[in-house]
Amino acid sequence: MPAEPMTDRLRVGVIGLRFGSQVHIPAFRSDPRCDVIALAGRDAGKAADIARALDVPSSYADWRELVAAPDVDAVGIAVPPAAQPAIIAEAVRQQKHVFCEKPLAATVDEARQALLAADAAGVVHGIDFIFPEIAVWQQAKASLADGAIGRPVHFAYTWRTETYASRTNSPSWKNRPAEGGGVLGNFVSHVAYNIEWLLGRILGFEGLVQPRDRRQGRAFDGVVRLENGITGSLSISTDAFLGSGHLFEIYGDEGTLVLHNSASDYVTGFRLSIGTRASGALECVLTHPDAGAAVDGRLEPVSALVRRFIDAIQGGRAMTPTLADGVRVQELLALADAAEPGPRFAESPSHTIR
């Protein structure tokens, strides 16, 4: 039976001790309409310690106990991709609304099963694609829609940085592509979503290069073609010491638009620059303010998504983005990861990223 719209305070349980405690808990607490009442992690002692430090009333070593708790209305899931589908399936079976991380799963089939379960349960479901929530990115989309650079023709998307997992060769899932990590799960999942959100649906990939040596899972280069005829180059790396950062250059027939963040924080430091034939030079239009070293820049966009998640629950409607967006990205990741040489073209399911 579909979950009913609710008007009372939302009681939230969070699964995952790292990103869950660092971002999910403060993001949910930033909205006065909800209370974080439970935290779950694999280490019972650590879960209890973190819950105590953050003044969360209950802690669990088994996520199944949290999703079964009758006083939990919604679940924030911040665990590795391979672990998410099983948690989603059980949470929605228990009629809990779910807010998930990207990528949705380690495989397309698991992602699709998670979406089917959530839709069948009638609960609200959302996924954490953060970049469209940043004001600089929103201004970029508005500028493109207003024709600031004319008709977009081609683009170059570069995201070259050195992650902690790559630098330390940690045993984290982030270094294991088969578990939904590696450069595809960590970064290209964002890249694929961002391209479709800003420019249009991806038709396929060509000329892809992924290292098959010790750098496997840490670099991705190639060409992407969109259904509307726009083409672009991709160069993504998680092991680029002193890399150029996150750079999205969009070239139109009347100008150029550039989104760039050279800082280590995912969000803080983004600049939007636009140059036209009339101006003759790139000019900074908007910069994301520095929130300070003590604040994780991801908290602001995740909080915006959480507010929309709660709006949807209280209003009895869907939010954006949903697990359907997660499935779309998972299909694109699988396409990009295909071993066969030559062009790879996407199927065209009905879902479109907005």
Say if 91 falls within a structural domain: yes
Q: Tell me if 17 is assigned to some domain.
A: yes
Residue 36 sits in the same domain as residue 83: yes
What's the confidence (pLDDT) of residue 258? 98
Residues 22 and 119 grouped into a single domain: yes
Q: Determine the pLDDT at residue 346.
A: 62
Q: What is the number of structural domains in the chain?
A: 2
Q: Is the same domain home to 198 and 119?
A: no
User: Is residue 2, in this structure, part of any structural domain at all?
Assistant: no
Do 285 and 304 belong to one domain?
no
Residue range(s) defining the domain that contains residue 117: 10-130+299-321
Q: β-strand 271-276 against 10-15: which pairing, if any?
A: unpaired
Do residue 54 and residue 177 come from a single domain?
no
Query: Which residues make beta-bridge pairs with 206?
Result: 223
Q: What is the CATH number of the domain that holds 167?
A: 3.30.360.10
Cβ contact 97:118 at 8 Å: no
Length of the chain: 354
Whether 239 and 304 share a structural domain: no
Q: What are the residues whose beta carbons fall under 8 Å from the beta carbon of 3, sequence distance 6 or more?
A: 95, 97, 121, 122, 123, 124, 313
254-272 pLDDT, tens per residue? 999 999 999 888 898 899 9
Please indicate, yes or no, whether residues 165 and 181 belong to a single structural domain of this protein: yes
Phi, psi at 82, each rounded to 5° = -65, -25
Same domain, 270 and 241: yes
> What CATH number is associated with residue 54?
3.40.50.720
Q: Clarify whether residues 211 and 341 are in a common domain.
A: yes
User: Is 353 inside a domain boundary?
Assistant: no
Report whether pLDDT(85) > 60.
yes
pLDDT of residue 344: 60
Contact 157, 60 (CB under 8 A): no
What's the pLDDT tens digit per position in 149-180? 999 999 999 999 999 999 998 888 888 888 89
Domain assignment present for 165: yes
* Same-domain check for residues 69 and 148: no
Average pLDDT of the chain is 92
Within this chain, do residues 235 and 268 fall inside the same structural domain, yes or no? yes
pTM as predicted: 0.92
Domain shared by 89 and 17, yes or no: yes
Kindly state whether residue 4 falls inside one of the protein's structural domains: no
